[in-house]
Each structure stands twice: as C-alpha cells, then as structure tokens.
Structure 1
Amino acid sequence: MTLYVESVKVSTHSGPNGGAPRCQHLRVPPGAEQGAPECAMCLILGLTWARLVVCLTCGWVACSDDSPGGHARAHYQETDHPVVGALETETAWRWCYVHGRAL
C-alpha cells in the first residue's frame, strides 16, 4: 500500500484487509516433536497452569502468560524462540513474543 503524506510517498507493508504487518517469525522451520502435555517447571514448583502452549521452534511445552508461572515467556527470553501455538491441535492460535500479538 502506498500513501502520500504531505507530498511524500510512504510505503507500508500490511497483512490482509490492511491489518498489521505480517509476522516473518512464522517462517521458522518446523520444530522438533512436541513435548508431553504438561509444564515441567510448574510440576517442579507445585504450580497449576491455566493453559499450555507449544514452542513452534523446538516443541517445548510450557504454561502461558495467564498462568502463575508464565514459563513459555521465560522459554522465549532464554532461547529467543519467537512463536508459540495452542497445544490443542484443533486450534490455529499462535502468539509472537517479538511482536507481542496473536497471529
């Protein structure tokens, strides 16, 4: 899309329907096999989780940000693996930590 602001040509890159820019982090090659459906750190610490997510880079399963531990974000901070997805296979939800938004 090209905009003209005060006679200056400005190009923008956006997603479908003028949405936010497409996330380049989805181009990560498929990760390793998905881990067990549990947050290992929560089990060690005796915490419960609200929801589990899987790292799309390496298959690590951890609790989401709305869980007391927030171990998926800690995994991102430690490894720079940018995108997690819903653990449930029937859901296509994904989250990019770099952009801070759902994909």
Structure 2
Amino acid sequence: MKQCTHADALPHPEPKPLSDTCPQCLAEGSHPVQLRLCLTCGHVGCCDSSPGRHAAEHHKDSGHPIMRTHEPGEHWRWCFVDHVLV
C-alpha cells in the first residue's frame, strides 16, 4: 500500500483557514461544490467537482502537497503528490 511521504512535514498546529470560502470562486461568481484547506498555508479552495478546481490549482501553483476537507463533519486528508488519503 502506497503511503504519503509528506505528512511529517506539515506545520503543527495546522494553519487557520485564510477565508470562509473559495476566494477564486467568489471572484468568478461561481459556487464551490465543497471546500478544501491547504495544510501548508491555509488557502481555501474548491474541490475537483467544482467548475474551477481551485484546490488542485493551488497545489499545482504552490507545490503544497496535502489538503484536507473543509466540510463540517468530514476529517479526511489527501496528498496530491502521492495520490493517497493521509
């Protein structure tokens, strides 16, 4: 089973969200399907089911490897680099 090689490098405590919603969706006038929180810097972006896919775009632009769901009641994390749940 493949494991994430980036989780040990995450900041502790995890960063606070920089916004309540996806700022790119807000600027574009679109609505995010679900939100994701970058665990390196706190950027909030929309999921891959949203038109903008801004969380994945943030990873591509920044190289920050791990995000977590920013939805109430959900607690999973995803490593974009290793393509595994963390």
What is the rounded CA distance, in whole Å, between the counterparts of 1:77 and 1:47 in structure 2?
21
What is the rounded CA distance, in whole Å, between the counterparts of 2:48 and 2:73 in structure 1?
21
Q: TM-score, normalised by structure 1?
A: 0.73
What is the rounded CA distance, in whole Å, between the counterparts of 1:90 and 1:24 in structure 2?
26
RMSD of the TM alignment (CA)? Answer: 1.5
Residue identity over aligned pairs, in percent, reads 36
Q: Is the 8 A contact 1:37 1:52 kept in 2?
A: no
1:87 aligns with 2:61: no
Structure 1, unmatched stretches of 5+, are 1-19
Look up the equivalent residue of 1:25 and give its one-letter code.
H
What's 2:6 paired with? 25
Size of the alignment, in residue pairs?
84
What's 1:37 paired with? 20
What is the rounded CA distance, in whole Å, between the counterparts of 1:65 and 1:44 in structure 2?
18
Whose strand proportion is higher, 1 or 2? 1
